[in-house]
């Protein structure tokens, strides 16, 4: 029972946030259809916001794809972690892969046995998928109706969302250092390189620090 409750509450709260994505996508000149397709096909919050953020800032498709993909690398590690619990083959593995995200993995790994872990993964993954897509559509339609995104603060909602995703990850000194170095690097690069490149360049800092630190 508590697996279902956990899964539902996570699904609904996270899914509701899809409305912010839908609205932000439209504010960044994506159509309602494109906003919905990103939620259906890409289905990974930070990566989706990265695509609209980089494109909205005038970046190229290549830098949007690269930023989105690097933000999605953690999903591969979630997939690895879950594969020993799920043990799926064929089409189930493909559907399971699409819903391998922060929330489904998080709820699954917080269960005390494998049966509940499997339930938690599927309930949460499918639940977030359902609500995230519904709310994306509502947010996109809503933003389409209200016109000027700045008048509603939507252009500030996107960086605030990124900050909200970043904040819980800033625990040790090394993580603060990576964040600070990335802020500086991105700012220094902005006037000197095409839009989108400053953001993707920050990955170099993560690679250098992660490679060297013990």
Q: Could you say which residues in the range 61-90 bind other proteins, by CB under 8 A?
A: 61, 64-65, 67-83, 86, 88
CB closer to other proteins out of 1 and 204: 204
- Binders of other proteins among residues 13 to 42 (CB under 8 A) are 13, 16-17, 20, 29-30, 34, 37-38, 41-42
Binding residues with other proteins: total (CB under 8 A): 102
DSSP letter string, 66-125: HHHHHHTHHHHHHHHHHHHHH---HHHHHHHHHT-SHHHHHHHHTSSSHHHHHHHHHHHH
**Rounded to whole angstroms, what are the CA distances from 23 to 56, 89, 166, 192?**
13, 37, 21, 30
Residues 3, 10, 26, 51: which binds other proteins (CB under 8 A)? Answer: 51
Cβ closest to other proteins, residue 115 vs residue 146: 146
Site for other proteins in 92-151 (CB under 8 A): 93-94, 96-98, 100, 150-151
Residue (57 or 109) nearer to other proteins, CB = 57
Name which of 115 and 160 has its Cβ closer to other proteins: 160
Among 42, 37, 35, 3, which residue's Cα sits nearest to residue 21?
A: 35
DSSP calls for 39-51: IIII--HHHHHHH
Tell me which residues in 158-177 interact with other proteins (CB under 8 A): 158-167, 169-170, 174-175
User: How far apart are the C-alpha atoms of 59 and 37, rounded to whole Å?
Assistant: 20
Nearer Cβ to other proteins (1/207): 207
Do 13 and 19 form a contact (C-beta atoms < 8 A)? no
């Amino acid at each position: 029972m508590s697996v279902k409750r956990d899964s539902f509450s996570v699904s609904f709260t996270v899914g509701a946030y899809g409305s912010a994505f839908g609205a932000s996508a439209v504010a960044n000149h994506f159509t309602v259809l494109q906003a919905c397709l990103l939620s259906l096909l890409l289905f990974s919050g930070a990566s989706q916001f990265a695509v609209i953020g980089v494109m909205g800032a005038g970046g190229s498709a290549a830098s949007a794809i690269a930023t989105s993909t690097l933000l999605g690398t953690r999903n591969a590690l979630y997939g690895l972690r879950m594969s020993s619990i799920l043990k799926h083959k064929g089409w189930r593995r493909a559907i399971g892969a699409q819903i391998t995200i922060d929330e489904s993995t998080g709820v699954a790994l917080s269960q005390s046995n494998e049966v509940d872990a499997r339930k938690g993964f599927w309930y949460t993954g499918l639940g977030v998928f359902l609500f995230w897509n519904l709310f994306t559509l509502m947010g996109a339609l809503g933003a389409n109706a209200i016109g000027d995104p700045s008048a509603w603060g939507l252009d500030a909602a996107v960086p605030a969302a990124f900050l909200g995703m970043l904040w819980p990850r800033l625990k040790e000194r090394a993580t603060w250092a990576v964040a600070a170095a990335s802020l500086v690097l991105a700012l220094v690069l902005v006037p000197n390189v095409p839009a989108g490149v400053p953001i993707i360049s920050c990955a170099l800092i993560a690679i250098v620090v992660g490679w060297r630190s013990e």
